């Protein structure tokens, strides 16, 4: 029992320190072509809630006082404006956070404005939808703050039906339990689904043998290096192509198990040599790509160190690798397609690597690209 309590505490701590999901989940949507559909869906949902608030004005259970009608009008107009903004403007993390705050405030105003005791509680169900959104786009701390705020509003909304002159405690308790269950269950079920999606996305980015990124993972992660290169003063961008020499012969002579061990050895040495913020990928059977940025003065020492880092005279089954390096020191210009520029650098690195092979293998060949190349 004690060990289970410790495990629960550990899981809770790990959950609480999970980072904000916005960048990861929006990248997942973008990579799967779902960004536009998601923005359209969210806009429709928000406008739909605005329509519900508008229809509520014509119900005896809806807002009746002048101030309640005024705030209902504010909520209706705001829902239409926010819904359209999802379609017109691209989302950002700050706007997304503001959207959560807006939703919680709008729901609270709607709850307070309803004249029916039961309608107030039913309106609180919308908090569950906000919790689903937070689970996918933000972090557990915001989720906890949202749930705490929602519970406070639910408690206020339940007061008349539980303790007022027209109280109905049995109905009140049952509806409060329904609303709280929806609020908590929706949030945590969404978190579980997101975790499964994250695991699927992460595994689809990785090469199963080496644990390095695969070609798909390289395409997803390289933008961060390109962005860092663009921001850093006096920086160079390196794209390095590595190919194990005579790998087919090694496989034919020693077998595929030995071939796999050599691939693992090369991947481990490459990862150990690279900087912490580098992107390292296995893009083919015995082909690797490394992308990293570094200061211009560090280029020479890094280029001189990669050859020795890839080989060792103590290897039981010796192997060599041909290395081709493309170096770029000029920044991306306005309007330049970074993805296309990176692809061009890959081609240059491949050309340099094949030149190393032509010269006998086990060599490093470097090409410095120019602004016109």
Looking at the structure, do residues 171 and 261 belong to the same domain, yes or no? no
**pTM over the 0.75 mark:** no
Considering the chain, what is the average pLDDT of its residues? Answer: 86
Asked which of 240-244, 328-332, 340-344 is least confident by mean pLDDT, the reply is 328-332
Whether 363 and 308 have beta carbons less than 8 Å apart is answered as: no
314 belongs to a structural domain: yes
Do residues 253 and 140 share a domain? Answer: no
126 and 256, same domain (yes or no): no
Strands (E), the chain: 235-244, 279-282, 287-295, 321-328, 364-368
**Domain residue limits at 46:** 2-205
Same structural domain, 88 and 161: yes
Could you tell me which residue, 5 or 181, shows the higher pLDDT?
181
Reported confidence tier of residue 6, pLDDT bands at 50, 70, 90: very low
Task: Please give the pLDDT value at position 288.
Answer: 96
First to last CA, the chain: 66
Would you state the structure tokens that stand for residue 102, as one six-digit string? 């807006």
Same domain, 176 and 255: no
What's the mean pLDDT in 85-90? 87
Residue 202: predicted pLDDT: 54
Residue 210 belongs to some domain of the structure:
no
Which residue's structure tokens are 């550990």? 10
Report if residue 165 sits inside a domain: yes
* 39 within a domain of the structure (yes/no): yes
Whether 197 is in a domain gets the answer yes
Token duo for residue 298: 């560090």
- Provide the pLDDT for residue 177: 93
Question: In total, how many domains does the chain have?
Answer: 2
Domain boundary among 171, 205, 239: 205
pLDDT, tens digit, for every residue of 63-75? 888 999 999 999 9
pLDDT surpassing 70 at residue 234: yes
CB-CB contact of 139 with 131 (8 Å): no
CA 370 – CA 220 distance, rounded (Å): 26
Same domain, 247 and 178: no
Residue range 1-6: average pLDDT? 50
Q: Which string of DSSP letters, residue by residue, matches 30-84?
A: HHTT-HHHHHHHHHHHHHHHHHHHHHHTTSTTS--SHHHHHHHHHHHHHHHHHHH
Q: CATH no. for residue 232?
A: 3.30.70.270
Q: Return the structure tokens found at 86.
A: 């999802």
Which domain-ending residue is among 205, 227, 243?
A: 205
Q: Two tokens at 59?
A: 């119900």
Residue 373 lies in a domain: no
Per-residue pLDDT tens digits for 7-63: 567 666 666 666 677 877 776 777 667 888 999 999 999 999 999 999 999 988 888
**Are 199 and 269 found together in one domain?**
no
Residues 188 and 232 occupy one common structural domain: no
Q: Are residues 243 and 161 in the same domain?
A: no
- What span, in angstroms and rounded, lies between the C-alpha atoms of 208 and 216? 13
Q: Report pLDDT for 29.
A: 78
Strand order in the sheet with 287-295: 279-282, 287-295, 235-244, 321-328, 364-368
Tell me: do 240 and 292 sit in the same domain: yes
Q: Which of 205, 229, 251 is the last residue of a domain?
A: 205
Return d(Cα 245, Cα 353) in angstroms, integer: 11
Q: Does 157 share its domain with 257? A: no
- CA distance to 38, 180, 182, 296, per residue, from 137 (Å): 12, 21, 19, 38
- From residue 343, give the alpha-carbon distance in Å to each of 346, 348, 355: 5, 9, 19
pLDDT at 4: 52
What integer is the mean pLDDT of 225-229?
85
How remote is the C-alpha of 30 from its chain's centroid? Answer: 10
Based on the fold, state whether residues 18 and 129 are members of the same structural domain.
Answer: yes
Q: Is residue 44 part of a domain?
A: yes
């Amino acid at each position: 029992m004690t060990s289970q309590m410790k495990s629960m505490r550990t899981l809770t701590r790990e959950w609480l320190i999970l980072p904000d999901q916005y960048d990861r989940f929006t990248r997942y949507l973008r990579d799967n072509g779902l960004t536009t559909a998601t923005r359209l869906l969210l806009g429709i949902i928000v406008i739909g809630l605005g329509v519900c608030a508008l229809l509520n004005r014509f119900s005896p259970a809806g807002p009746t006082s002048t101030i309640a009608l005024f705030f209902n009008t504010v909520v209706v107009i705001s829902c239409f404006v926010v819904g359209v903004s999802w379609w017109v403007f691209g989302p950002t993390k700050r706007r997304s956070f503001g959207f959560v705050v807006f939703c919680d405030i709008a729901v609270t105003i709607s709850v307070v404005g309803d004249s029916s005791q039961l309608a107030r509680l039913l309106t609180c169900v919308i908090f569950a939808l906000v919790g689903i959104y937070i689970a996918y786009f933000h972090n557990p701390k915001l989720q906890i703050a949202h749930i705490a705020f929602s519970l406070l509003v639910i408690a206020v909304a339940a007061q008349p039906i539980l303790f007022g002159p027209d109280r109905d405690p049995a109905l009140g308790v049952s509806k409060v339990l329904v609303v709280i269950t929806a609020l908590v269950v929706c949030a945590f079920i969404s978190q579980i689904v997101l975790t499964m999606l994250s695991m699927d996305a992460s595994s689809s980015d990785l090469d199963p043998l080496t644990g390095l990124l695969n070609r798909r993972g390289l395409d997803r992660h390289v933008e961060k290096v390109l962005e860092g290169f663009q921001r850093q003063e006096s920086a160079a961008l390196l794209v390095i192509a590595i190919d194990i020499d005579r790998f087919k012969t090694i496989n034919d002579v020693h077998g595929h198990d030995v071939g796999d061990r050599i691939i693992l050895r090369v991947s481990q040495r490459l990862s150990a040599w690279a900087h912490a913020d580098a992107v390292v990928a296995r893009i083919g059977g015995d082909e690797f790509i490394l992308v990293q940025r570094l200061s211009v003065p560090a280029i020479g020492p890094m280029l001189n160190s990669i050859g020795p880092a890839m080989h060792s005279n103590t290897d039981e089954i010796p192997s060599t690798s041909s290395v081709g390096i493309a170096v770029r020191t000029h920044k991306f210009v306005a309007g330049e397609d970074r993805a296309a520029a990176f692809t061009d650098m890959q081609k240059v690195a491949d050309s340099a690597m094949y030149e190393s092979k032509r010269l006998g293998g086990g060599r490093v060949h470097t090409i410095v690209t120019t602004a016109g190349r």
